[in-house]
Amino acid sequence: MAERPRTYEPSAAGVAGDKAEPSAATPQRDRAIDALRALALLAVPTGHWLVGGLSLDGNGALHNASPLSSFAPLAPITWVLQMLGIFFLVGGYASVLSYRRSAARGESRTRWIRGLLARLLRPAVGVTAVWALLAPLLYVLGVPERTLRTAATLVVQPLWFVLVYAVVTALTPYCVAANRRMGGWAAAPLMATVAVVDFLRYGPYAASVPGWVGLISLFPGWLVGYQLGVSWGEKRLGRRGAWLLCAGGATLFAVLLVVFHYPVSMVGVPGQDRTNSHPPSLLVIALAAAQCGAAILLRDRIAALMRRPALWAPVSAVNASAMTSLCWHQTAMLAAAVPAAFLGTVTGLTTAPDFPAWMLTRLPWLPLFAILLITIARTTRHLEAPWTGLSRTPRLLAVALAVGFSAFALGLA
C-alpha cells in the first residue's frame, strides 16, 4: 500500500545537522520521524546507565560491572532498551531524502558523503580529544589510573556506533540502487547474510570456523534497518510490508530464543562467550524487524501526538543535541561516579551490581545523570557545528588527541 506523500526536512544522516525547534514555525518537519529518533536516542543512555554498573575495589579504583552477569532474569529489559533498529530505520529514511535533495541541487555524491561524515565524526573526535586533555589532569588530582582506564572504556564504548553508522550512511547511494531493484525486499539479502554467518558460527561446523567469520555480519546486520528506512523513505515500504516485518520479526525472535537457544540479552554480558550485539546476530535482526514494522504502523498516531506542544518540545530538544547526547552520556555518569569514589561505597553509584535490588538503587541516580548530561551538552554542543574558526593545525591536533585517547581506552597505550 502506497503511503501518502509527506514533506520532511531531515537532519543530515538522520542524526546530526538540522536542528528542530519547538515551535509551529517548522511545519516541514515530520514530527513522527523526530519522535522515533528521540526515542531511540534516549534508549542509549538509559540502557547504559541502568545496566552499566561500577564497582569500587580496595584501592579506591572503579571497575566496569554489569547486573546482567549476576541476574540473568534482568536480560529481557534489553529487549526494550535495544532500539538501534529504529535508529537505523529513521536514519535511512532521513538520509535518502537528504541525498535526493542534494542530487536535485546538483551536488556530487562525494560532496554529500564528505559533509555527512564530517557532521557525524566531529562530536566523536571532540569528546575523545577533550578526554585526552582531561585524563592527565584527573590523574594529577588523585584519580587512580585504573579508574581512568575504566572511564576511557566507557567513553569510547558508544563511539563504535558512530563509526558503523558513518560507514552505513556512506552506503546510501547503493541502498537507493538496491531499493529501486527490489523495493522493500532489498533488506532480505542482508538478513540472509547474517543467518548464514550465524549458522557457520553456531551450527554443527562451528568448531572449524575461524573467529573472524563473525565480522562478516557487522555491516550487513546494521544495514538491515537502514535499508528498510531507505525503502520507507522512497515509498516502497508501506503498511503491508510493515505488518510482515512486525509479525515475522516477532515470530523469528521467539523461535530463535526457544528453539535455538540464543542468548537472551541483546547486549554483551561479561563472562559469556557468545553475544548478540558484536557483531549483530540474527536475534538482533529479528528484534529490529519487529520494531521497524511497529514504528511504520504507528507513524500516524505518533504524528498526531506530536501536535501537542508539551510532547513536541522535549522531542525537539533531544533531536537538537542528538550527537552530543550520544557521545557524552557516559561522561555524565562518570561526572557523578568518579568524585563519589573518593567518599567510598555509595549505594547505587559505586556499589557492585551483585544483588537483586541493585537496579532499584540505581534508578534514583538517573535524574542526576540527566541533569549532568544537559549541563555538559550546553557546553559541548558547539563541537557539532563546523570547526570553521580553527586552522588546519588545531584540527590535526584534535584528531591526534582523539586517536591517542582511543588507544589508551583499548589498552594499546
* pLDDT > 70 fraction of the chain, expressed in percent and rounded: 92
Show the CA angle centred on residue 148, arms to residues 119 and 137, nearest 5°: 85
DSSP assigned state of 5: P
* Per-residue pLDDT band at 7 (split at 50, 70, 90): very low
Q: Are 230 and 173 in contact (CB under 8 A)?
A: no
Q: List, for residues 267-282, the tens digit of each pLDDT value.
A: 877 767 788 988 899 9
* Mean predicted confidence (pLDDT) in 65-74: 81
Task: Write down the mean pLDDT value for the chain.
Answer: 88
* pLDDT > 90 fraction of the chain, expressed in percent and rounded: 64
Question: Going by C-beta distance under 8 Å and a sequence separation of 6 or more, which residues neighbour residue 1?
Answer: 238, 239, 240
Q: For position 274, what pLDDT does the model report?
A: 84
* Mean predicted confidence (pLDDT) in 309-324: 90
Q: For position 160, what pLDDT does the model report?
A: 85
* Per-residue pLDDT band at 283 (split at 50, 70, 90): very high
Of 107-116, 297-306, 361-370, the range with the lowest mean pLDDT is 107-116
* Mean predicted confidence (pLDDT) in 385-395: 82
Q: For position 9, what pLDDT does the model report?
A: 42
Of 47-61, 243-257, 358-372, 383-397, the range with the lowest mean pLDDT is 383-397
d(CA 10, CA 13): 8
Of 118-127, 266-275, 362-371, the range with the lowest mean pLDDT is 266-275
Of 7 and 262, the one with more pLDDT: 262
Q: Are 152 and 131 in contact (CB under 8 A)?
A: yes
Alpha helices in 29-144 (DSSP H): 31-51, 67-70, 77-81, 84-104, 109-140
Q: For position 65, what pLDDT does the model report?
A: 87
d(CA 331, CA 337): 10
Which of helix, strand or coil describes residue 65? strand
DSSP 267-332: S--TT-S--SBTTB-HHHHHHHHHHHHHHHHTHHHHHHHTTSHHHHHHHHHHHHTHHHHHHHHHHH
Residues in the chain: 413
Q: List, for residues 141-188, the tens digit of each pLDDT value.
A: 999 999 999 999 999 988 888 889 999 999 999 999 999 999 999 999
Please state the pTM of the whole predicted model.
0.89
| pLDDT at 308 > cutoff 70 | yes
d(CA 359, CA 72): 13
d(CA 318, CA 218): 28
For 411, counting Cβ atoms within 10 Å of its Cβ (0-12 exposed, 13-18 middle, 19+ buried), the class is exposed
DSSP 391-411: -HHHHHHHHHHHHHHHHHHTT
Q: For position 11, what pLDDT does the model report?
A: 45
